[in-house]
Structure 1
Amino acid sequence: MITALHTLIYCDDPDSARAFFRDVLGFPHVDTGGGWLIFATGPSELGAHPSSWEYEGTTGGTDQRFDVSFMCDDLSATMAELAAKGAEFSGSPVEEPWGVTVGVKVPGAGEITIYEPKYDPPALI
């Protein structure tokens, strides 16, 4: 039976990205050998979204097939805590129908969304 979700993030600079996950986000980890760190990321959830949609009169779509986001209880507090550890954000928080979001820059790996959901996350039930 499935026991967990394993997520991969492909990086141009994996050492910098691993240091960010370890030192800034504080994720517990194991070293599987040679500095290949695998991080515990807590509870997870999985959504199946349409690749095209219409919502409140607006249509959209994506060629994207997978997405990774981090969830938090209080986005403002999380941003303040991460900024104190050197995290950089791309813009200000944005109100979405499903939560408040912001992008955080992952050194050597691009950007990941952090969000405070407006729903009761099944990962936390």
Structure 2
Amino acid sequence: MRAILINAAHIILYSTNAEADRVFIRDVLGLTSVDAGDGWLIFKLPPAEVAVHPTDTLSQHELYLMCDDIETTITELAAKDVTIAEPISDRGWGKIASIKLPSGAGLSIYEPRHPTAYNLQE
């Protein structure tokens, strides 16, 4: 069944240093943006997907940026002086690492091994 009412997703990252994290996302990660007013940047993300995992307790939602080659991605980010919070680890379903935003918050990046939905044609 095709969802016809949802046409995009808006993700909010909370930050203790929003301006520095916005600059990082713009300049280091290279995401384009629009100014929603007063310098409030809204970034365009690559295609996205959502998964629902079972749990016994409610928890925070998670955001993972995806890439095709995590070794190259982490090497390029490290060359831009990005702090690697957690080195690459193999989880079976994919390889995952974490970087630090200027605010100190972690941001996970992974290379999936499972089928992905982000490139499905509508």
* TM, length-normalised to structure 1: 0.87
What residue number does 2:86 align with?
Answer: 91
* TM, length-normalised to structure 2: 0.89
What residue number does 2:11 align with?
Answer: 7
What residue number does 1:115 align with?
Answer: 110
Q: 1:49 aligns with which of 44, 53, 62?
A: 53
Unaligned stretches of 5+ in structure 2?
A: none
Q: Of the two structures, which has the highest relative contact order with CA contacts closer than 8 Å and spacing of 6 or more?
A: 1
Q: Which has the higher strand share?
A: 1
Give, as a single letter, the amino acid of the residue that structure 1 aligns with 2:31: F
CA RMSD of aligned residues (A): 1.3
Q: CA deviation at 1:109?
A: 5.2
Separation of aligned partners in 1, 2:10 and 2:78? 27
Q: CA deviation at 1:92?
A: 1.6
What residue number does 1:67 align with?
Answer: 62
Runs of 4+ displaced beyond 4 Å: none
Residue-by-residue CA offset, 1:23-71 (whole Å, 9 max, x unaligned): 110001011111110000110000000114xxxxxxxxx6523111100
In the TM superposition, 1:7-26 aligns within 5 A as 7-26=11-30
Separation of aligned partners in 2, 1:63 and 1:2? 24
Aligned residues: 116
Separation of aligned partners in 1, 2:97 and 2:50? 20
Percent identity over the alignment is 36
Unaligned stretches of 5+ in structure 1?
A: 53-61
What residue number does 2:75 align with?
Answer: 80
